Amino acid sequence: MGTLIGLNCSTVECTSLTAPIWQDILAQAVTGELMAAMNYASLSEICKDPAEVADALEHAQIERGHAARFAAEGRKIGVAVPNNVDAMHWKRLREAFLRCVAERDFIGCLIVQEIMLESFAVASYARVGKVAPGTLGTTFASIAAEEEEHVDHAMAILQAERALDAQRFDDKLHRLHIEVMTTLAKMLAKECKDGHCEVCHATCVKPALFDVSLSAAELRGASLQKYLKTLDALGLPGETTLAWVTQLPI
Amino acid sequence: MTVDFALIGHQESWQAAADVLAILRGAPLPDDEIKDILPWIPPRAICHVEVGSSTGATAHGLYIDSFIPPDHLEAAYVQENTARVRAAAACAINLGAKIVSLGGFSSILIEGNFDQLPERKGTVFTTGNTLTVGLIVQGIKKMCTLEGRNLRRSTLLVVGATGDVGSGCARCLAPFVKRVQINARNEARLRKLAAELQADGVQVEIATGLEGFSTEADVVICAASLASPSLLLGRIARDAIICDAGYPKNLSPNAHMADAKIFFGGLGQIVGTLKFAPNFDGILNRHPFPRVVHGCLLEGMALALEKRFEPFSRGRGFITPDRVEEIEGIAAHHGIHLAPFYNADGPLEDCIAAAASFDSVNPGRGTVSNTRTQCQNTILLLNATDARSRENG
């Protein structure tokens, strides 16, 4: 029964007015997943343990699978889903990750991908999953759950690393926070102040999000909340991390 | 660092919330962003607190903000707010706090639901209501003295009388007044409290609506926020002494109650020191006098200074005059006393007199001029805030 209602809803709601909105949301998701796949592939190059190499490559494959599933959801509602990993903000995020790779900084790579980018993905996919119609919604929700598992996997490694030298770990995280979260905050801001993001197919999708029961403020809030909770779980002082987050661009 | 105490609180207004975020950010956030950001912040410690006793002892603690949005301080959001207080409590436990005081709405949410708190691992919780009651009662007695009233000839009205604070106030003041009127929404609980008071020979009237009382009440304690302050109009003596002990406080002097003496109750002042890091002084304690703190939070600080890490106030309806006397004694030992009077219009007592009074118990600390400046600054800040609130409609 639930599936039937979902499919009807999908057909009715996504073919006319809201399809271009879902198209842009999917484009951001596909771009993010492809970039994650590239990041894991790059990470595999600096892993020392063969098991870690295999793990990173498997993650890369999983992220490509996510991108394919999102693209398939686009086809179901009759839109082609573009992607652009060289788009302004995504490119900066990729460059930040590649700097960690160049420094053979495995922990830095995990912080960028698993703590920062995945917090953004898990929280925003979960919000989209709640309101998107039909299989579009269930796909976002199920990929959010899978991404959450990735984070759990990395948390154990990062917690062990922090236990060795908390101050050094926190300093590194803060440096990466300034580099990566500043870019993510600009992407999540209520208005794109740096011009077109180069992923949306026409004008910026953010003002139209209200038409699909979403808002840029909600996606930003949920993402930063997830990030703060992840940092809490790592053991960073809450007052420090809140100060970091409040200092991000708005 | 040892965490002797944690204070769980939240901001009462968007302006207060904006000020907190501005301190953390190092610059103000635009007004339209604050309401979008604050509700997403998970409960967490935002600053370190150090309290110094007049005995020379110090206790170290943390202020944990539950980030309840100021416009959610009402019954419709009980579930959401309880979840926030639980998360704040978990934060206090994880940080190893020995005793946790529940401030403001947190106390109201949890007083009857201590079992909803997370697993404790050596951390104890207190609602802080016993010291709040003590300070309210002290305030009533002091105001009666200042106004030349004979409490023994007075009729006491307690609004919100079946709550922990309201019932505690009724128990403590009933032996000193001619008659007691108790008001609350739950009639069964009202009857139970009335029976308890009557057993001690007190004349008691009960009513679930204020219109059910005669208009003789000349001493009023609002232990619950009134839906509308105008509800008191025509229901009490024109020149009544009114203690606004509700949360949030919403009674202010106005033309319709020109003869009434309204003051904010349940507040104490620390004679010793109170330091915040980062410096939230005047932000987390927004009062026109220095080192003034809500009684509920002061209780945890006093118990930490006394090294009595025990759930002094828990549950609802257990506050007795003996327990109030005990916590007042502990507080006084560490230089925690009734705060100078003020209300929404500002101080009711002269700042300088209050500072001089402070100096009399702290000779040689030269605080009069400091206090004068702090009072003036705070009053200017309050005036500016009020003006901005009016501009914002």
Same domain, B168 and B44: no
- In this predicted complex, what is the ipTM? 0.87
Residue with tokens 């436990």: B93
Task: Work out the minimum CA distance from A34 to partner chain B, whole angstroms.
Answer: 28
Chain B: residue nearest A245 by CA?
Answer: B25
User: Residue A75 carries which side chain, given as an amino acid letter?
Assistant: R
Q: Is residue A110 in some structural domain?
A: yes
Flag whether residue A159 sits within 8 Å of chain B, measured between CB atoms: no
In this complex, the residue of B25, B30, B45 whose CB is nearest that of residue A238 is B45
Q: What is the largest CA-CA distance in chain A?
A: 55
Give the pLDDT of residue B28: 94
Q: Which chain B residues are Cβ-neighbours of A246 within 8 angstroms?
A: 21, 24-25, 29, 37
Average pLDDT of each block of 10 consecutive residues along chain B (393 residues)? 93 92 93 92 96 97 95 87 92 95 81 75 92 98 95 96 95 96 95 96 93 90 80 85 85 77 95 96 90 96 97 92 98 98 87 51 42 40 38 36
- CB–CB contact A225 B41 (8 Å): yes
Q: State the total domains in chain A.
A: 1
Please name the residues between 186 and 215 in chain A that touch chain B, using a CB distance below 8 Å. 190
Residue of A215, A245, A246 to mutate for B, most B C-beta atoms under 10 A = A246
The reply to whether residue B45 touches residue A237, judged by beta carbons under 8 angstroms, is: yes
- pLDDT given at position B380: 37
In a domain, A123, yes or no: yes
Asked if B125 and B114 count as a contact pair (C-beta separation under 8 A), the reply is yes
Q: Are residues B99 and B143 in the same domain?
A: no
CA distances from A144 to A112, A151, A181, B45, B363 (A): 18, 11, 20, 29, 63
Query: Is the minimum CB–CB distance between A166 and chain B shorter than 8 Å?
Result: no
In a domain, A200, yes or no: yes
| Nearest Cα residue in chain A from B31 | A250
- B328 and B287 inside one domain: yes
| pLDDT tens figures, A90-116 | 999 999 999 999 999 999 999 999 999
pLDDT, tens digit, 9 for 90 and up, residues A134-160: 999 999 999 999 988 878 778 999 999
First to last CA, chain B: 45
CB contact under 8 A, B44 and A238: yes
**A29, A84 Cβ separation under 8 angstroms:** no
Interface membership of A242 toward B (CB under 8 Å): yes
Task: Compare all CA atoms of chain A with the CA of B47 and give the residue at the minimum distance.
Answer: A239
**A181: DSSP letter:** I
Distance separating alpha carbons of residues B22 and A75, to the nearest angstrom: 46
The first and second tokens of residue B34, run together, are: 């604050």
Residue A250 lies in a domain: no
Q: Give the span between the Cα atoms of A207 and A150, in whole angstroms.
A: 31
User: What's A173's domain CATH number?
Assistant: 1.20.1260.10
Considering the domain architecture, whether residues B137 and B258 belong to the same structural domain is answered as: yes
Q: Does A217 touch chain B (CB under 8 A)?
A: yes
Q: Are residues B70 and B17 in the same domain?
A: yes
Domain with A16 in it: 2-245
Binary contact (A220, B36; C-beta < 8 A): yes
> Chain A residues with CB inside 8 Å of B41's CB?
225, 228, 242
Asked if B21 has any chain A CB less than 8 Å from its own CB, the reply is yes
Whether residues B41 and A237 touch (CB distance < 8 A) is answered with no
Q: B255 and B280: one domain?
A: no
Is residue B145 located within the same domain as residue B246?
yes
Nearest-by-Cβ selection for B45 from A190, A221, A239: A239
B96 Cβ under 8 Å from any chain A Cβ: no
- What total of structural domains would you count in chain B? 3
Token pair recorded at residue B269: 């002042």
- The verdict on B319 and B370 lying in the same domain is no
* For residue B28, cis peptide bond before it (omega within 30 degrees of 0): no
Is residue B36 within 8 angstroms of chain A, CB to CB? yes
Distance CA A181, CA B165 (A): 46
Q: Which residue has the tokens 């040892």?
A: B2
- pLDDT at position B75 is 80
- Measured CA to CA in angstroms, residue A230 lies from A123, A242, B180 at distances of 11, 12, 53
Residues B37 and B51 occupy one common structural domain: yes
Please list, in sequence order, all residues whose beta carbon lies within 8 angstroms of the beta carbon of residue B188, skipping any fewer than 6 positions away: none
Residue B25 touches partner A, C-beta closer than 8 Å: yes
Same domain, B239 and B284: no
Q: Which residues of B touch A241 (CB under 8 A)?
A: 44
Whether A194 maps to a domain, the answer reads: yes
Q: Which helix (H) or strand (E) holds B220?
A: strand B219-222
Q: B80 at the A interface (CB within 8 A)?
A: no
Are residue B124 and residue B170 in the same domain, yes or no?
no
Nearest CA in chain A to B18: A246
B290-303 burial, b for 16+ CB within 10 Å, e for fewer?
A: bbbbbbbbbbbbbb
**Residue B35 vs residues B41, B175, B249, B314: alpha-carbon distances, Å:** 11, 47, 21, 33
| Shared-domain flag, residues B72 and B194 | no
Say whether residue B44 is in contact with chain A using an 8 A CB cutoff.
yes
Indicate yes or no: CB of B44 within 8 angstroms of CB of A239: yes
Residue in B29, B39, B41 nearest the CB of A242:
B41
The pLDDT-based confidence of A25 (bands split at 50, 70, 90) is very high
Boundary of a domain, candidates B207, B235, B264: B264
Secondary structure class of A214 (helix, strand, coil): coil
In a domain, A155, yes or no: yes
Domain that holds residue B120: 5-130+268-351
